[in-house]
Structures are given as structure tokens and as C-alpha cells.
Structure 1
Amino acid sequence: MQHTVQDSPQQGGDIRQAAAAHFNSANADFRDGRWEAALSGFEAALALDETMEPAAIQAARCHANRGQWQAARDGFARVLMINPASYTAWLESGHACRRLGLFEDADQAYRRAAGLAPERHETFVALARILEEFGRFQDADDAVDKAVAAAARTSAQTVATVHRMMARYRLEQKLPDRALASLEAGIRVAAESAATLEELCDWQVERGYALMLMGEHARAHKAFGAASVSTREGTLLRLAEVSYMNNLWEEAGEVLRRCVALHPTSVSSLMALARHCSHCWDVAEAERLLQQVEALGSHPEVPGIRANARIRGGDAEEGLRLLIDEAKANHDGGRACSRVAMTSLYSDSYSAAQILDLHTWLFEPLGVKARERASFRREPLAGRRIRLGFISADMHYQHPVNIFMQPILRELDRSRFECFVYAAGGLNDDQTQLARQRSEHWVEVETWTDAQLAARIEQDKIDILVDLLGHTAHSRGMMLGRRAAPVQVNYLGYPGTTGIPNMDWLISDAVVTPDGAERYYSERVARLPGTVFCFAPEEDYPLPPITQEMAERPLTFGSVNNIAKYSTRTLGLYKRVLDSVEGSRLSLRTASFSDPQATGFFRARLQDLGFDTERVSLQPPLALPQMMRAYRDIDIVLDAHPYNGGTTSLQALWMGVPVITLEGQQFVSRMGTSFLTAAGLADWIAPDDDAYVALAQEKARDRAALVTLRRELRQRLLARDAWNPVIHTRNFEKALIDILKAEGYATA
């Protein structure tokens, strides 16, 4: 007969005390954001007392705070085994399910929580959000009414909080009219409950954002002005963020500088201004701010911002070195790796084969635990439309993706394609609204996890997913690497191979990726006729008068490009051209030259390379209409190498300015060759450096022929298929259908 040894009361008390000690210590770590240490402490407490519900809840929250949503869901399931009636576990399990894209499970969890505690407003707010994400607005409004009723039992301030939470959710989904309704209701309640000036400033930031989204710009600026009197750091940082999201960069900078003046030792404020300065090409100021941050302690974003500042200062090679070091320390295929990939395209020292090898190494981790293509179930295409998805963060004014995608969205054959756009970025303006109107389904996903977005793509039954992001700031490479659709395509957003596992195809053309170039790409290549990008601006840019004076003035070579494109090889070519064409001048225009210190640095660089800097003009950026008019002062554009001009070269051609390009080996260094071939200007393409210089001499010599070409160039372009957006869109559609056929889809 066996006997069970029971813990004595004294032993049980000692165990409970030890568990409580672990719990209290872990809570201290939790409050300080040390999630790993906190998790270890809570697990130690649970090992001693597996029924300690608060420890189980906090352990699950540690996983949630680390973005480990499946582990968080499992953790809340453990809580529910201890206490099936735990309101907190049901509510927060719903949050985890939503982050995992398990929308039905989230809905059920929220409803269980509401049943357990109908007096709690948080559940109804969460339920309203998930209902709104699927367009169930009446049901969402009913849930909001219940949230308000529950909050009213607590205080007027809690009612205002409900309205504010709903407003923020609605702004994330770019539902400004519904957001404004919540904001106005909340402001009324806040004012009636004697809210402070700082609290009202908070409200005005979001109110201004909603009004901007609605196109009510004058009212929005008034709201932003009211918010700007705040001295609270969080309010000012949010105001700067919202200003930036609405392309109000100058205003964002003013707010951030005021924020730093008010909070000079805040790392958050210093970093926000450093990021802003880096984005706005204020390289010297960004570096000064980073040094202030480092004096206060380490920060994980500093290396990336510093490298970006180096790149925008014109030193892509040093920026790349810094970024590779960062990627080696964070080799997960994430943002640090994407920065390396993008920067490598500017490097003189990487061949096409080395670019592929680098990208393959960078993003190899993304293929781990990828979904099998065979697991996707789609109906046969016969008798239905192809469900086409685009992921983009860049449908806003002047961005190249927007410029090239707007005509495609306008002309897409809706009888054959059902169009879904997953909007992954925060910037918003009139062009964003136009793209939204042209999209059959528009889903705001900026704040969504990869799991959420992948679940939505699956729910939408997307047949072919076109990534317009590549390795830019909002990259969804981790999701794509694990496969979110049966067929995944890289187009437009990234000019070359992505190296992402399970990125199946690259849409290109026969010049950018000629026969035999497939070996430089991790994707299969689908080629459009003509050229890969169709430049068909919807805005009118009148041609300047082409006069005889243009043939008699000193010849001006020009380039309008990102400063990182001015590699050592490119500047060497520019110098040789200037030296070989007597009396010629060079005009360089880039965003960096709005910063006097960056301009001085670049001028010193030109002097070190032997330029006669009296013949070189360094111009700051202009708004697009003014920039297009400024092409009148340029006679010939000199393309950059290895990263050719893309949009800017096409804009130059549109304004009647021919381009000399150097034919390269990979996508970014063959774009100019593609454009000029499609334009019937093959005689402006140089096979090597010496030919580039000789070509510049030749074309500069016959000024009369140059003026004639400028008069005729736009009409010549308009007569060609590559500049016809309808033909281009039909070709794009055919490429998608051919890809589906190649992947085994039976198409009608």
C-alpha cells in the first residue's frame, strides 16, 4: 500500500512566500519593461504555485509585450485553465487572437469577456474595432453605444476615453468621418468635465488628423495650431507624427524642435528629431542629435539613423559598411537587413552576382516555417475574376510608386480582376484618396501584424499578390518570406531581386533583364513589352518654350537624383564630361542641398575629385511643378551609375531633355537603357565609361540637333506604346495571367 506525503502547513506557507517573492520581483521588472527577466520571474512563481492566476496573467502579458502573440494566446489559455471565468484572460486572449489574424476567435473571446463583465467598457470597444475592420458599421455602433453606457457608470472622463479610443481606431482605418464623430463627442464630454488645456490639445491633434483626411485642410491647420501650444512631450511627438503622415514635413520639424527645447534630455524627443533630420537630409543636425542621445546612453536605432545620414550625405559606401555590421548583429531578415539591401544598390563595389549573393544571405532566415503553396485552396478561375492584391505604403504625392500605379489602378480591367489594396503606410494626401477611390477594396493595415495581414489576405482569397514595397521602410518581407498568397510578385517598389524566399516572380522588361540575366535574380522573371515603368502623368506639365537661345547659351549638363546615386564612379564620369566639353556647366539638384552643411561637404568632395567647382551648381529641391519647369535650364541629363535615375529620368524625357546613360549589368543600372530603348533613343546609350564621355561630347557638339530633339521629344514619346497607360495596363494584366498559367492556374 502506497502512502502520499503531504506538504506540511509550514512547507506550504514557505512555498507560497517564495512564489510571492518571485512574483513581486518579476512585477518590478515588468514595470521597467524588462520582459525577459519578468517572464522568468513569473514562471518561477508558477513553478512553485501553478494556481497563481496573477502570475499567469503577467507571464502572458510579457509574451504580448514582446510581440509573441501565439505564446501570449497560449499563456492566457493557461489562465483560463486556472480560472475559466477570468475576464482579463478572455479580453486579452481576444487581443492576441486579433494580432494573430484569428478574427473569429477574437470575436468569440471578446463576447465571452462581455458576458462575464458587461459593466466593463474595454470589451465593447475592442469588439467595435474588429467589427469595423470588416465593414460591419451598424454592429460596431451598437458595440460603441454599449461601451459608452458602461463607461458612464464610472465617470465622464471614462466616457471621453471610449470616444478617444474609437477615434484612434477609426483613424487607423482611415475612416475620418466616423473618427471625427467620435472626436467631437469626446471633446464635448471632456470640456464639460473641465478637462485641462493639455488634455484638449491632445484631442485637437487627432481632430486635425481627421480633418486632413477629409480634405478640410483649413480647419485641420487650425486644430493643429491649437494643439501646438501644448508643452506635453507625448502630445508634441504625436502632433509631429501626424504632421509627417500628412506630408507637412516642415511643420513636423518645427514641432519637434520645440519639443526638444522643452525636453532637452529626453531620448524620445532627441531621437524623433534625429529621424526627422535624417529624412529631411539635414545630415549634420542628425549627427549632432545622435551624439546627444549617446551621451545619455545607448539606443538601438542610432546605428541605422547614423548610416542613413551617411548615405544621405553622399557616402553610400560608409553607410553600407555600418549597415552590414548592424545586420550581422541582427540577422533575422528584418528591417536592419532591408536597409543593407537597399543601400547595396548604390554601391560601386558590388557586381550583379554579388548583389544576389548578399540579398540571398540577408533574407534566408525569412523562409523558415514557410507555408506550403499546396496548402492554399482557390476556386478555378474559369467563370470568375482574378483576385489581385497589392501591398503598398506609397500612394501619395510625388512618390514614384504612386506616379506609376495610379494609371494602372485607373485602367485595370475590372471584368477580369477584382482589386484589393493593402495600405501599409501612414502618409496620406489627395493622391492617397484618389488611389482609394480607384481600388475596389482598400484595407488599412499599417498597424497590423504580419499574422493579421496574412490572415486577411487568406480571407480575401487572393490569387496573386503584388508587393510594391520591397525593402523600403514598411517592408513586409517577413510575411512574404513565410508566404501569404499562392503566387507572390515583386513589382515597381524595389528595382531588383529581393532575395526573399517564396517571392515567386519579378515583373520586368526585356532590356532591364535581358535573356541570360535570370541568374542574377532569386525570382522568376516575367517581361513586359516596352519598358517596365509607364510614365503617363495625370498632372499637366506644359513644355517650356524651346527657343534658339538654348542653342547659343553655355551647355548645361544636369542630374536630379538622390544624393546616394552620386557614387565615386558617377562623379568621375561627370568630371570627365565637364573636362571634355569646353565651357559646359553641371547642375546637380538633390534634397541634401537644402542643408548648407551637407552642401559644403559635397562641394569639398567635388574639390577632392578635381572638379572646377565654379562650373558646378548645387541646387536644393523644388516642388514637383517647379522642378519640371526647371528642366528648361538643362540641355542634357547625365544618368547616374550603378543606380540609374528612374522617375527623374522619365520626367526629364517628358520635359524634352534627353538622357545619356551607361548600360549596366543589373536592374538598377539598366533602367536608363530600358527607357531610352523604348523611346527610340538607343544612340544615347553608352556601353562603357569611355563611350559615355565620347557620347556626351558628340551630343553637345550639335546644338541645333539638340534643340530640334527637345521640341519633338514629347510627341515622339506619346506615339510609343511604352507611354500609353492603357496599353501598358493591358500588358501588365497579361503578365499576371501568364504568371498564373505558369504556376498551374487554369485561366479562362
Structure 2
Amino acid sequence: MRRRRVAPRRRAARRRQSPAPIDVTPAKAQDIEALASRSEALYRSGQLAEAETALRKLAGLLPDNPMVHYNLARVLKDRGRIDAAATALRKALGLAPAMMEGWLNLGTLLGESGRWAEAAEAFQHGLAAKPDSWQLLTSLGRVRITQGRRKEAEDLLRRSLALAPDAPPTLVNLGNLLSDHGSLAEAVSLFERAMALAPTMPEALMGAGNAVRKIGEMGRAIAYYEKAAAARPSDLAMRARLTEARLGVCDWRDVEGLRDSLIGPALKAPGAVGPMMSLTFPLPLTAKELLAFARQRAETVSAEAAPLKAVIKTPKPGPRERLTIGYMSADFHDHPTTHLMRGLFPGHDRSRFKVVTLALEPDDGSDYRRLVREQSDQFVELGPLDTLDAAKAIQAAGVDILVDINVHTRGNRLALTALRPAPVTVNWLGLPGTSGASFMDWALVDAVTCPPGHESDFSERVAVLPHCYQSNDRDQIISHAGPSRHECGLPPSGFVFCCFNQAFKIEPEMFGRWMRILSRVPGSVLWLLGGTPEMVANLRRAAETGGVDPDRLIFAARLPKDQHLARHRHADLFLDTLYYNAHTTASDALWAGVPVITAPGRLFAARVAASLLTHVGLPELICPDLDAYEELAARLASDPAQLAAIKAKLAANRLTTPLFDTKGFIADMERAYQMIWAEACAGKKTKRLVVP
């Protein structure tokens, strides 16, 4: 807030403001001027308590002068007394309702406190007084983004841009909105305009990094993040974003120092590190730490959604002829999550369950999207809807149990779950861990991913399925005409280890083990999922540092699912990652007949592959530690008979064990839904509910 000059009015002074002039003697006027100057000097020297005292004395002398209350609000804000500052600003605006800067500062103050509805009201009052203020239009646009009113936000920001085409804040806010929900190309253009006007503006640099990252230009994104972090070195969130991007291309610099430089401070600074970022750190975080990061984000979402809660009345649970299950996801397209779920939608018992799918992202034109739409009883496009309208649409669909498949993952709209438009809320599949949310009732788990005694890892109550928590589609097609070994870039002979996990799951400790395995198995190669040039270069460099010829790393191009499954025939053994296991990729390997070895950790994300192996009847591939993991990998590569026996066992088990029994899985889920609904109807709070 900028200081406004206090001007006591003498009798001869011409009126310049609506408040009536104050009659004072010349001597009294001098005292007022001295007090005003003293208050400003105290403020500038950081003596805030003394500055407040001086301004309150001044307010006693000039109670109807809006500038005194305006300047008092500035001091109170800096003292952390937000409510008192807002009261002072409202007093100033009551005296001078046309003071645009006052409305702007009041709205900004309230917005920074998470009081979005009040902030919007302040900005609207300001616009009533000055409708052509680009600052007010941009500020109101930001609030509407937070409230999920995206269409209105875009209109406001475009109006603002028309008034001030060279205003970096507007360019950045519109760029962020379009980056998340519109045109990436236009978003990048807006950020570039902002950076041309303000080359070191951290928000513009960060927004540009986020946008180009989404179009796959990781090197360029990292360069923007580096500039943003340099421009604001004290901003922990910007440093975290840079770290996350580097880890995403296997740039492991300073990994050993992450706990002191980032993780520890972020636990004390909500918002700097998100739940998904915390899961990808190549360090053994504790369950308590992961829960803390999840809770930070969930509480922020809950506060942002709070003004709408009065509009959305949560229905009461009770007897139903059929339970309506609402599956909400941003991934109802050609995405690994939908690959897993494909058999779920047509398989529910329609005499007892109605299936509503709630799509958060646009149609990609794929067969997966078409199948989800066709195999649902009701398909609702929530993507174009604002938060309030989307929550109303969920209620209108009569959803009893809202299954949030994203929670904190990409494309989520957790605010919808926070509004509780359904009586029961469930965290399942997309997030390998807790939501940290008080508004999430249940997490669906299994006894391997959440053994007895791990209930405190979750803010939710846990419903423990009798078999693997992860759905799998037993009707996935494996192409008969997959690529040849040569077309895959593999050598004509030699043992092929593979890991098709995304690059962010590869961490230095496990990669070092992989290099030791390659060294122990002459002629072997490691087949990885291809990524950005930066990722490939970093892993080749790490291999060379580990004493392995970089050419022994083979990088696979992305292929349609049936061909991707088919190329597994050229792989001999899948090597799992450490802290964040293979999920869909492990299921793919097992379905295609490739054994997977894993060394589970304590936390959910590090135990998924162990659950898959347990429920496909291959517990011998679950290793107690990394030494055993390395030994098993080297032994299987050197003993063709033992490996062949395991592959034969996998082939026999694939269609006879629970893992790929889609119908059996659906029956398990339906029992879980009925049990948690009965709990809701009875008002019970069972912490660990075991589904038989």
C-alpha cells in the first residue's frame, strides 16, 4: 500500500474531496503536519507500533479524513493485523467511496487472507466507481480464477488487456488461465509479451516455464525456472518448481541437500511443495511428512471453496434402490489411468449401481474416451463448467459416492470434492497416498499398500480391498504386429532389462543399482521409456559415471497401447523403481508376460508393485532390500532356466489369480461401496474397514 498524503484543510482552502473541510488554526495545522510527517518517518524506519500510535492520534484530530485511515491501514497490514487493516480501509472508503486505490488495496488484502468473496465485492465496488480501471479488472479476474469461475475470469482479463495492453500482471494472469484451461500457444505468447516488458518478473518467468513444459520443451522450461528463482531467491515455491523440473529430466544435482534446502523449510511454508512433488523426491520421506504436504494443499483448497459451501448442501445418506457412483477424473482419454479402468465401467451390476462419469478434461477423440462415454449410465462434461456449476451438476446427477480419481494429480479439481456435492467422498487410484483432506471420507487401499498399523498415514479412513486396490483390464489387446527387436533399437542378442516408468520416478540410488546389474551381466542393455533430450543426456552421463557404456541404454519411443504391449516380448525382466513404483507400467509388463522385480518401501507409492506381484502369485520377486534386488536381477539374467520357470508361472497365473480378474475386482469394489455407504447411514467412523 502506498502512503497517501494527509492534507488538513484551512478555511480558505478550496474543496478537493467530498468530506467537509476541517477548521483548524495555523498552529494546529502545523501540529497536524508534524504528526503526519512523524508517522511517515516512523513507518519508513520500521517502527510500526510507534507509527500506529501517531496515526491513531492523527485520526483523533482528523476523524473524517480518509487519508489518515488509509495510511493507518497500511501500518496495520504490515503489523499482521489484517482484520484491523481492513476495518481502517473500510473507514477510509466510507469517507471517500470513489477512492479506487482504496478498493484495490482492500480487495488485495482480503484476497491474500483467502477471503475471496469479500475481495471480489471490494473490487466490484471499485469498478462501480471506476469501471475503466485495468488494475481492478485484473484483480477481480484473479479472484474469479481462484473461485473456479473461469469464463468470467477470462472476460475480465481480456477487458483489462484491452484497456492496458502492456500491463504485465494482466498478461501473466491471462497466460496462466489459458495455460491451464485454454490455448498453450496463446499462453506462451502472452508470457513472452510480459517478459519483454518486465524481463525479470518472476511470475512471468514461472508462467512461461509452466506453459512450455506442457508442450514438452523441458530445457526451455528449466531455463525460465532458473531465471525466476534467480530473480526471487527467497521464494521457496520457485526453487521447488525448479528442483521438480530438474528431477523430471534426471538432473540429480544437490539431491543430498534437498532435505535441508527445500523439504524442511517447505514443511513450515505451506504451498511451496505440493503433495505430488513430495512423492517424487528421490529421498525417503516419512509418512508424517507426506501427510503434512497433502494437508497443506487440502486446507488451501478447502479455504478457497469455503464461500461456495453455503450454496451446495450436502445430501444425506439413506436407503437407496441403487447406489449412484460418480467417477471423477481428468484422465478419461488415452491415459494410463483409463487403460487400467477400461473394464470397470461396463462391469458394474446395474441392478444395484448406477455409473456416472464426471470428465474434467476435453474429449481427445480416442477410443478410450468413446468407451467411457458409451459404457456409463450418465456422462457429464464438467470441464467447461465453473466450480459452482460443476458441483451443482454432480448433485443433479444424484451421485451418492463421489470417487475422486485425481485428488492432487494433474488436472484435478479438488475444490469440487471439498464442496461435498455427494454424501460420501472417496480417494482412489490416481494418487498413491493420502489426500490430507478433512473433506475426503475414505481411501481405497489393500493390505499390501496399507498393512495393519499404517492407518495413521492417511487423513481418510481406509477401506481395505481383499485383493489389489488397482483395477486392471483383462481384455487389453496385445498387437500381433508389434515392432521388431531391430525397430525397437535393441541389439540382435543379449539380455534386455527394461523399465518404462516416467523419468521422474528414476532416482540416483536405484539407477546406480541398475548400472551395477548391467556391469554384472555382460552384453545386457537397459531399455527405458524415451523422454526429452535433457533426460536422455543426463542418464547417459550418469551411466558413464557409473562405469557403463552409455550406448547400453536404449530409449523407447511412445507407441499406441497395443503396440507398446507387443514390444514387451523383446524384454526379459522389468526393473522397478524405488520410492515411487511402477503402477500401470508394472501391470502392462505382467500382462505382456514380463516378470517384475521390486524392493518395496514403507509408504504406499513404494509398495504398489509388491501388491501387483502378490496378487498375481509371484511373491518370490518381492525383495527385502536393494542388495537382494540386485542379486535376484543378476541371477535371473544368468540363469535362463530359472527365468523361464518364472515366466511360465506368470503365464499360468495371469488369468487365474486376482490381479487380472476384472469381474472379481468389480465385485470387491461393489462390496466396499455398500459397506462404506452403510457406515455413512449408520454414522459410524471405522478407521480400518476390511472388505471381505
* TM-score of the pair, normalised by structure 2: 0.67
Provide Cα deviations, 1:21-64, integer angstroms capped at 9, x if missing partner: 999xx9xxxxxxxx999989973543325x76989987897689
Distance apart, 1:578 and its partner CA? 2.6
Counterpart residue identity of residue 209, structure 2: A
Corresponding residue to 1:689 among 626, 631, 635:
626
Counterpart residue identity of residue 463, structure 1: D
Corresponding residue to 1:585 among 514, 525, 528:
525
Corresponding residue to 1:306 among 231, 239, 242:
242
Change (3 A) 1:563 1:353: same
Structure 1 CA distance for aligned equivalents of residues 364 and 611 of structure 2? 31
Structure 2 CA distance for aligned equivalents of residues 522 and 600 of structure 1? 40
Counterpart in the other structure of 2:553: 617
Structure 2 CA distance for aligned equivalents of residues 354 and 587 of structure 1? 33
**Is 2:355 aligned against 1:400?**
no
Distance apart, 1:534 and its partner CA? 2.5
Note if contact 2:172-2:207 (Cα within 8 Å) is conserved in structure 1.
no
Note if contact 2:528-2:554 (Cα within 8 Å) is conserved in structure 1.
yes
Structure 2 CA distance for aligned equivalents of residues 464 and 262 of structure 1? 44
429-438 vs 314-323, greater mean Cα deviation: 314-323
Q: Secondary structure at the match of 1:588?
A: strand
Note if contact 1:637-1:659 (Cα within 8 Å) is conserved in structure 2.
yes
Map of 1:682-721 to 2, 5 A cutoff?
682-704=619-641, 706-707=643-644, 710=647, 713=650, 716-721=653-658
Counterpart in the other structure of 2:473: 536
Counterpart in the other structure of 1:512: 449
Change (3 A) 1:696 1:552: farther
Note if contact 1:588-1:616 (Cα within 8 Å) is conserved in structure 2.
no
Corresponding residue to 2:282 among 347, 351, 368:
347
Structure 1 CA distance for aligned equivalents of residues 125 and 217 of structure 2? 51
Structure 2 CA distance for aligned equivalents of residues 600 and 347 of structure 1? 19
Distance apart, 1:426 and its partner CA? 5.5
Structure 2 CA distance for aligned equivalents of residues 327 and 348 of structure 1? 15
Distance apart, 1:734 and its partner CA? 1.5
Q: Secondary structure at the match of 2:343?
A: helix
Counterpart in the other structure of 2:38: none
Structure 2 CA distance for aligned equivalents of residues 36 and 682 of structure 1? 59
Structure 2 CA distance for aligned equivalents of residues 636 and 556 of structure 1? 7
Counterpart in the other structure of 2:353: 417
Counterpart in the other structure of 2:95: 48
Distance apart, 1:20 and its partner CA? 10
RMSD (CA atoms)? 5.5
Provide Cα deviations, 1:261-308, integer angstroms capped at 9, x if missing partner: 997556687545422444466543323233455677789974343122
Provide Cα deviations, 1:527-553, integer angstroms capped at 9, x if missing partner: 223322222176632267999999993
Map of 1:160-199 to 2, 5 A cutoff?
none
Note if contact 1:240-1:255 (Cα within 8 Å) is conserved in structure 2.
yes
Structure 1 CA distance for aligned equivalents of residues 389 and 212 of structure 2? 32
Distance apart, 1:387 and its partner CA? 2.9
Note if contact 1:394-1:427 (Cα within 8 Å) is conserved in structure 2.
no
Counterpart in the other structure of 1:652: 589
Structure 1 CA distance for aligned equivalents of residues 350 and 567 of structure 2? 39
Report % sequence identity. 25
Note if contact 1:467-1:489 (Cα within 8 Å) is conserved in structure 2.
yes
Counterpart residue identity of residue 286, structure 1: A
Change (3 A) 1:460 1:614: closer
Distance apart, 1:618 and its partner CA? 4.4
403-412 vs 619-628, greater mean Cα deviation: 619-628
Structure 2 CA distance for aligned equivalents of residues 448 and 644 of structure 1? 35
Distance apart, 1:640 and its partner CA? 1.0
Change (3 A) 1:546 1:635: farther
Note if contact 2:406-2:412 (Cα within 8 Å) is conserved in structure 1.
yes
| Structure 1 unaligned blocks of 5 or more | 1-7, 27-34, 83-91, 104-125, 131-163, 169-198, 200-232
Change (3 A) 1:544 1:675: farther
Provide Cα deviations, 1:459-501, integer angstroms capped at 9, x if missing partner: 6554322111122234445665675543221100101222222
Distance apart, 1:667 and its partner CA? 1.5
Counterpart residue identity of residue 71, structure 1: E
Counterpart in the other structure of 1:600: 537
Counterpart in the other structure of 2:660: 723
Counterpart residue identity of residue 514, structure 1: P
Q: Secondary structure at the match of 2:342?
A: helix
Structure 1 CA distance for aligned equivalents of residues 173 and 302 of structure 2? 36
Change (3 A) 1:359 1:545: closer
Counterpart in the other structure of 2:209: 274
Q: Secondary structure at the match of 1:512?
A: coil
Corresponding residue to 1:676 among 610, 613, 629:
613
Change (3 A) 1:576 1:291: closer
Q: Secondary structure at the match of 1:718?
A: coil
Counterpart in the other structure of 1:289: 224
Distance apart, 1:561 and its partner CA? 1.2
Note if contact 2:505-2:579 (Cα within 8 Å) is conserved in structure 1.
yes
Counterpart in the other structure of 2:431: 494
Structure 1 CA distance for aligned equivalents of residues 424 and 243 of structure 2? 34
Map of 1:92-107 to 2, 5 A cutoff?
none
Note if contact 1:392-1:422 (Cα within 8 Å) is conserved in structure 2.
yes
| Structure 2 unaligned blocks of 5 or more | 1-10, 23-61, 74-81, 130-138, 163-168, 685-692
Counterpart in the other structure of 1:12: 20
Structure 2 CA distance for aligned equivalents of residues 100 and 548 of structure 1? 52
Counterpart residue identity of residue 740, structure 1: W
Structure 1 CA distance for aligned equivalents of residues 570 and 187 of structure 2? 36
Counterpart in the other structure of 1:229: none
Structure 2 CA distance for aligned equivalents of residues 296 and 546 of structure 1? 48
